Amino acid sequence: MGAAVWLGGHQSVAANLNVDFVSPIPLGVEVEVEAWVTRVEGRKSSGKGRMVLAAGGKILAEAASLFVAVPEFFEGRREGS
């Protein structure tokens, strides 16, 4: 979800992240993770996401998040540092 918010142009940090594990996540299987921005209000961005089995699409986990924009935190920082 952080990547979805960041790619949406919001230099943000996580303020809250809630994950609901819907089903046990088996070891050694391929999963798909998707995330999207649901709302932007001032400095706050909300997102949702889910993890599903690649084969069949069974939902394994669902998540909701809140990110807060703090562009001053990122000033003068290089990517990856």
Is the residue at 80 inside a domain? no
Total tally of structural domains belonging to the chain = 1
Which pLDDT score is estimated for 76? Answer: 74
Is the residue at 17 inside a domain? yes
Is the residue at 52 inside a domain? yes
Q: Indicate the pTM of the whole model.
A: 0.77
List the domain range (segments joined by +) for residue 63: 2-74
Q: Is the dihedral of CA 1, 3, 46, 57 positive or negative?
A: negative
- Tokens encoding 60: 């394994």
CATH of the domain at 26: 3.10.129.10
Is the residue at 55 inside a domain? yes
Is the residue at 30 inside a domain? yes
Is the residue at 79 inside a domain? no
For 42-80, the DSSP string reads TTEEEEEEEEEETTT--EEEEEEEEEEE-HHHHTTPPTT
Is the residue at 58 inside a domain? yes
Least confident of 24-28, 59-63, 72-76: 72-76
In the chain the first and final C-alpha atoms are separated, in Å, by 20
